[in-house]
Structure 1
């Protein structure tokens, strides 16, 4: 299960029983010790151990020998000492020799500096001739057993022969220049060793620093020695955070560290065990393969491949990590061997048509919920995988253990739905000028990325709900406006059918005088005539009440029907809302709060039932008791009473008939005047409502605009986090002038060309122009006025109300202006803009799901790749899993890809592979390195990952050379 460079626990400094100095181990036998040793390594999950001793690798050889027999180790009862799981783990522990030297000069505390040589295990057979037998101390004694004895005699000729070796070993030290000369003159030794120095104050370089600071005036040569020691080494033994920050250039500067120490350096720790209880109580997290080449990587990546911490670095949620991918290929078109992915940066390389992009696309198609990025502009899928092979499928397994196939039921949701896929040329298309369709897509992309934050997403959805509600409300108010206008028109039309008010009043006056004369002709005196007139006036008033009651009944019926309809709609929405409420406490509360809707609906139904009428032979009657029925009864009763009161005054039948006719005429004329007054009253009220509705329409329009400025202000917090990367995103409310212009022109009378008189409709106006809301608002109001007044001439088929809705439609939009290092996105080169868009996609995205990118380097110049893109990927891979197809070596090498997947199509290269599959893949870490095996005919298996990179990827060899030159590995 190869996932490339993975974080594992390494212990670089472990002494074992029998160590040449300060041996305090108490195990009775070596077997007892190594059982404790390897059991402790398993329990603590230590994957790499530097077996350390002074001037010797004997302890390392003992550990290797014991491990070789580990499967055979049994206790006194015959039971295996280690379980199968323990054996498997221990067999894979990377053991390497750590030879500890003491070098002069001495520190302030009189101790010699500890220098460590970490050797490639493969180089061990050469160490005697190339290392141990080459070094000699300042007095000329060689670093071997006889040399230590001779050195002891040199120091103290009287020392007992039994103590000579131990005494010589304890006091032996080497001048730093001797070590430097040996390393400089032996390329093979240099390539198979890594030198580390202690930074302790008693036996490390810090002790020299203290000494130098105390005697600074006479310590010039000592400062040179300190620098020489640091420049000789690649690693520093120190757990101090200040040392770690210093040696990776964070505390001061990279330039100062390189000047003082020769290169940036990783800081590591080890347990420096001299007792069993000290074994593995300290460790360093290392991200590398378990081999010497993996160890070398920490010198090339001192910041990103080393951590001193209790917890495993770069934590990512298991559900958001793709652990394994696998082609299911019944006809062996694709390799069916599972490909394991690293949690950080995975790069896919290969020759032309080698299956790189197909692999990435298969991952995207299996998981992505965004179908648009999977398709070409014509709607077809970029790769029709099923046409490549019948029965083809693809399976993905997450770190959390969930699996999903590409061919699955439509109702099966993605196990990683927020995965992002950026196909080849996608960035380039988005980077095209922002005035065209692609620019709008980019704006939507930025908006969608901003909304990935749950709080912002909720805020934006609330904003959308508000403006949509405003759209509905504004359109309903426009409908109400024109409905009210129609009602006014109808009332004014009806008013024209009525008689002239002065004529009616004159007729009433004349007829009233005739009635008075007729009454006098019957012999009624003046008093009786006045009484008659009073009774007749009461009767007239009662008749007007009857007329008003009918008018009021009609109005109530119309309103109650509308009320019932509206409340029924609200009840339905309310019931639907309450069904979606999840918390019972909230549901119960709002059931009670909104119960008024149910009450009001029942009230409307009750009113409707109470004022029901039926027609009988003697007229209209109310079915149920109600206010109208009671009033009608009173009016009819009063009418009858008044008519009876008038009878004594009308004795002459002929005169009586004339008076009745005249009074009927007067009654009708008064009713007509009542109708005129009622219509005028309605017209006045409706005109008042018309103006209010118009004001409401414009207020809603203005409120919608302010919703845009408000949401932009609320979302601003999401864009601040990108400023550290040199990106700046400024939200602005913009107006789609072109859309309004196109819509309005389509319903305008071209002969009149009314649109020419409004600046808002000029063809020079673009959607990305800066806007002043007051100017737009004033123009919109003017067009609104001119359309309803008829000054703006429309086509004969155009509906005025629909055109007004069109004009007052919401053409505002939130626009996100992007600048990178003071350059506006729209004015950048396509390549630079592509990179900026990639930064946006990765930087703004709140999701920690994997991101898939196909050749992000397209259209980028080499400098942008080696600086901007590489550095960005190095940082962002710590936050989320990244899978990239690339043909650029800088992305692979200098972005320090943890896992490299090499793709090959049989027959595409000059050499035909004997692989079973047409499309085949292999993966591993950059540090997986071995030269071409000429006898291996499967091309992917014939060389290491490093060699594949150098062979396939453009500039691969140069990228490795530049990287290693930077850290003096040349």
Structure 2
């Protein structure tokens, strides 16, 4: 993993040079090998009152590439209670160590060792002056604290000026070294807040081995520091003690989802919008699992880089590449997905991507913001209860919708049955017009044969469909291992079905087909006899077909009527048994659960403790406007046939008339018709609706349609955002953008990529608040920014930084990857704010004083 990452450090370690080392025969190689085997990546050599320059240089040589060795020294202070307080100086691994050691041993009380022949454990250094010298030489200072021996905690409050002395010491030193893990809680709750309030310093607390024999190397607990394994990396904990230091058996867990490596591999000489493509050729880019910043001048390709990642992960979703294309030397469009690999394309990446100015869209589009909040809410729904309730609600909504359609279907069926009965009655009159027994006998014979034939034919169709459906089902199930009861039972049932399908006798099927043919012949013979009878009676040729076919038509109509009445009975039974209250209950349960979850995440936003930003809160609402539009669209779909046949023109007046009574206020059909009739419009749409709702079933279907949509919180949930107690849309645009960015960063754990998040945000707000949001959020989610704002990069404590620059010769983008603590790129990072001179000029002009 590149950039600043968690490494195991030990900032208090003694070598054989210390007067009280317990194994003088230990070699430097053994020290390095032991520490490396224990996973230590950085060690500070802190021998008592001495710096063994030669040994430290040798240890650095032996540990090169495996173990960073920081020079240090442990002092005994003249400030004391019963015992002298111990404090430690640590210096840069590349410092002029001979010079530093010379300054310390000649300009502190250490000079007594050579000048007065004092032993190393008999020299006590004056705390303030020695620390001043250490700082002058570029070092940092740790002091024993907590329950550790020789701790400054031994200065009790009972001693005159004891508390004041502690506060003075806290002002001087940089780091507290605690003796036991249990000390950390007390320090976090009491000491550190007091130090912060009295000195203005946020003090890091660490724990170290204080080892005097590497052969028995152990620690009370591991010290993890997130930094490059350098002295400059160590200095970062002075600025970010909460996020750069951790004490525990294992380091903090990185965000679960992340982009680790992106490989761009585009053909050489490809073009983008008629210009050489800045990322042609091969380029590999690593990302921190926490916070990565992409910086560089305008036109260096920052946005292009992020959009390439988005297009790869969400093909066709990226607006940037929707119209702009990368083309090869042959003029053909290059497929981005083939030229960009993300973590070897091994897994499906779920990311959030916000292009330039997209935060503005969230600030202006409540629907987009609602969906973003809801997706985060689902991620926090550990037991899946919201999704379960939403699924139940959707199922009930579907049943409600189907029953709405049933109402219109019943109306249609009843009309069909009425029409079929009239047709049957007409043909029955024809049949009844002949009273001859012979005619009645022949006519009845035709009807009977036709009915038997119809039933026979329907049975055949049912048989064939059943066989086809069962065969397709068996094929869809496929073959599965029978390792458990359910699979075994499935296999048994499938086997029995297959057996049943093959048991149908081919001979019996042929016999049934012959019977079907015989019935066809019987109908033909009986119909011919009937026609002959009618002809003999002098029926004209014009009437012969009507009369001779009447019996067959009557039989067919009776069959159709029976089928439709059967369907009517079934549908009426379904409506009768349908529980409308179940949908109401599902809607209420879903809404209430949603409100609880929203209240929970709202509390996170409401409890923002920062003067630069007002409390943000979330509230669940119902999007009535969207629901009404859906009701109108559903109405047009449900009555499409009738609407197409009507004479009205345009949806505007139709919608106005339909909502003469708001959907949520509908009571009954009579009230609706009165409202429609009293409307001042004289349009065809008015007459259409009056005519439509004159049929009770049509109004009932519309009423059901309204009820269903008004209970659909799944489709029409609306999460309102409030800023300082007011709807966010009544706040300033900058406040809206602030609220949006805070919500998007604090809620959710998928990687989030934002192109220039600073748009519409003032620098003071970023520096005083948003960087804190960023530092908190990056502990649980990966964040990638392309930015020009130094506050995000430096004060946001980016773990990894990619600096983009144009190569004027090739036109390609060059990328230099670095960290905040890398001294080689410090000037470049400072240039984000105009360079070092700009800082000095502002300091002089504004007369800043610490």
| Structure 2 Cα separation of the partners of residues 555 and 694 of structure 1 | 27
Shift of 1:276: 2.9
2:113 counterpart of 1:145 = yes
2:822 counterpart of 1:928 = yes
Of 954-963 and 566-575, the range deviating more from structure 2? 954-963
SS of the residue corresponding to residue 54 of structure 1 reads coil
| Structure 1 Cα separation of the partners of residues 661 and 191 of structure 2 | 52
| Structure 1 Cα separation of the partners of residues 22 and 601 of structure 2 | 55
2:217 counterpart of 1:279 = yes
Shift of 1:272: 0.8
Shift of 1:99: 1.7
Of 355-364 and 688-697, the range deviating more from structure 2? 688-697
Long gaps (5+) in structure 1: 71-86, 137-141, 150-163, 396-403, 512-535, 623-667, 766-770, 908-914, 930-943
Shift of 1:268: 1.2
Q: Does the CA contact (< 8 Å) of 1:237 and 1:269 recur in 2?
A: yes
Shift of 1:459: 6.8
Q: Does the CA contact (< 8 Å) of 1:238 and 1:244 recur in 2?
A: yes
Shift of 1:879: 2.1
SS of the residue corresponding to residue 17 of structure 1 reads coil
Q: Does the CA contact (< 8 Å) of 2:748 and 2:781 recur in 1?
A: no
2:137 counterpart of 1:206 = no
Shift of 1:474: 5.5
Which residue of structure 2 aligns with residue 488 of structure 1? 418
Which residue of structure 2 aligns with residue 235 of structure 1? 175
Q: Does the CA contact (< 8 Å) of 1:474 and 1:697 recur in 2?
A: no
- C-alpha change, 1:817 and 1:565, in structure 2 (3 Å) is farther
TM-score, scaled relative to structure 2:
0.73
- C-alpha change, 1:312 and 1:845, in structure 2 (3 Å) is same
Q: Does the CA contact (< 8 Å) of 2:397 and 2:583 recur in 1?
A: yes
Shift of 1:316: 4.8
Q: Does the CA contact (< 8 Å) of 1:447 and 1:816 recur in 2?
A: no
Which residue of structure 2 aligns with residue 654 of structure 1? none
SS of the residue corresponding to residue 294 of structure 2 reads strand
SS of the residue corresponding to residue 251 of structure 2 reads coil
| Structure 2 Cα separation of the partners of residues 471 and 906 of structure 1 | 62
SS of the residue corresponding to residue 73 of structure 2 reads strand
| Structure 2 Cα separation of the partners of residues 956 and 708 of structure 1 | 61
Shift of 1:101: 1.5
| Structure 2 Cα separation of the partners of residues 843 and 220 of structure 1 | 47
Q: Does the CA contact (< 8 Å) of 1:901 and 1:922 recur in 2?
A: yes
- C-alpha change, 1:480 and 1:816, in structure 2 (3 Å) is same
Shift of 1:853: 1.6
- C-alpha change, 1:17 and 1:422, in structure 2 (3 Å) is same
| Structure 2 Cα separation of the partners of residues 41 and 392 of structure 1 | 55
Which residue of structure 2 aligns with residue 902 of structure 1? 803
- C-alpha change, 1:13 and 1:961, in structure 2 (3 Å) is farther
Residue among 830, 842, 857 paired with 2:758: 857
Which residue of structure 2 aligns with residue 373 of structure 1? 318
Shift of 1:172: 2.3
Shift of 1:231: 1.7
Residue among 303, 306, 312 paired with 2:242: 303
| Structure 1 Cα separation of the partners of residues 318 and 661 of structure 2 | 33
TM-score, scaled relative to structure 1:
0.65
Which residue of structure 2 aligns with residue 17 of structure 1? 16
Shift of 1:888: 1.2
Residue among 800, 804, 815 paired with 2:717: 815
Alignment of 1:208-607 (within 5 A): 208=155, 211-212=156-157, 215=158, 219-238=159-178, 240-241=180-181, 243-245=183-185, 250-252=188-190, 256-260=194-198, 262-279=200-217, 281=219, 283-316=222-255, 320-323=258-261, 325-326=263-264, 328=266, 330-331=268-269, 333-334=278-279, 336=282, 338-366=284-312, 368-375=313-320, 379-381=322-324, 384-386=325-327, 406=339, 415-434=347-366, 439=367, 441-450=368-377, 455=384, 475=405, 478-479=408-409, 481-495=411-425, 498=428, 553=452, 556=455, 560=459, 571=470, 574-575=473-474, 578-579=477-478, 585=484, 586-590=486-490
- C-alpha change, 1:757 and 1:621, in structure 2 (3 Å) is closer
| Structure 2 Cα separation of the partners of residues 358 and 590 of structure 1 | 54
SS of the residue corresponding to residue 427 of structure 1 reads helix
2:828 counterpart of 1:948 = yes
Of 875-884 and 455-464, the range deviating more from structure 2? 455-464
SS of the residue corresponding to residue 47 of structure 2 reads strand
| Structure 2 Cα separation of the partners of residues 617 and 338 of structure 1 | 79
| Structure 1 Cα separation of the partners of residues 620 and 691 of structure 2 | 39
2:627 counterpart of 1:736 = yes
Shift of 1:704: 6.4
Shift of 1:34: 0.7
- C-alpha change, 1:825 and 1:43, in structure 2 (3 Å) is same
| Structure 2 Cα separation of the partners of residues 178 and 375 of structure 1 | 60
Shift of 1:65: 3.1
Which residue of structure 2 aligns with residue 4 of structure 1? 3
Residues 429-487 of structure 1, C-alpha deviations (whole Å, 9 max, x = no match) = 232243xxxx3x44444455555679466775676577557656754774465244212
| Structure 1 Cα separation of the partners of residues 169 and 559 of structure 2 | 106
Long gaps (5+) in structure 2: 270-276, 526-546, 606-616, 678-683
Shift of 1:805: 9.4
Which residue of structure 1 aligns with residue 608 of structure 2? none
SS of the residue corresponding to residue 115 of structure 1 reads strand
| Structure 2 Cα separation of the partners of residues 547 and 794 of structure 1 | 43
Q: Does the CA contact (< 8 Å) of 2:311 and 2:318 recur in 1?
A: no
Residues 862-912 of structure 1, C-alpha deviations (whole Å, 9 max, x = no match) = 3442355322321222223322101111111121101111111245xxxxx
Residues 379-409 of structure 1, C-alpha deviations (whole Å, 9 max, x = no match) = 424xx344699899999xxxxxxxx953689
How large is the RMSD of aligned CA atoms in angstroms? 5.6
Which residue of structure 1 aligns with residue 136 of structure 2? 188
| Structure 2 Cα separation of the partners of residues 597 and 478 of structure 1 | 38
SS of the residue corresponding to residue 118 of structure 2 reads helix
Residue among 92, 105, 118 paired with 1:165: 118
Q: Does the CA contact (< 8 Å) of 1:288 and 1:297 recur in 2?
A: yes
Alignment of 1:4-83 (within 5 A): 4-20=3-19, 22-27=20-25, 32-58=26-52, 60-68=53-61, 70=62
| Structure 1 Cα separation of the partners of residues 189 and 23 of structure 2 | 39
2:659 counterpart of 1:762 = yes
- C-alpha change, 1:755 and 1:261, in structure 2 (3 Å) is closer
| Structure 2 Cα separation of the partners of residues 814 and 351 of structure 1 | 44
Residues 76-100 of structure 1, C-alpha deviations (whole Å, 9 max, x = no match) = xxxxxxxxxxx6534xx32222221
SS of the residue corresponding to residue 99 of structure 1 reads strand
Which residue of structure 2 aligns with residue 99 of structure 1? 73
SS of the residue corresponding to residue 431 of structure 1 reads helix
- C-alpha change, 1:254 and 1:223, in structure 2 (3 Å) is closer
- C-alpha change, 1:263 and 1:815, in structure 2 (3 Å) is same
Q: Does the CA contact (< 8 Å) of 1:903 and 1:921 recur in 2?
A: yes
- C-alpha change, 1:616 and 1:699, in structure 2 (3 Å) is closer
| Structure 2 Cα separation of the partners of residues 342 and 408 of structure 1 | 17
Residues 51-95 of structure 1, C-alpha deviations (whole Å, 9 max, x = no match) = 01222212x541213543x4xxxxxxxxxxxxxxxx6534xx322
Residue among 775, 779, 782 paired with 1:878: 779
| Structure 2 Cα separation of the partners of residues 199 and 286 of structure 1 | 20
| Structure 2 Cα separation of the partners of residues 888 and 288 of structure 1 | 22
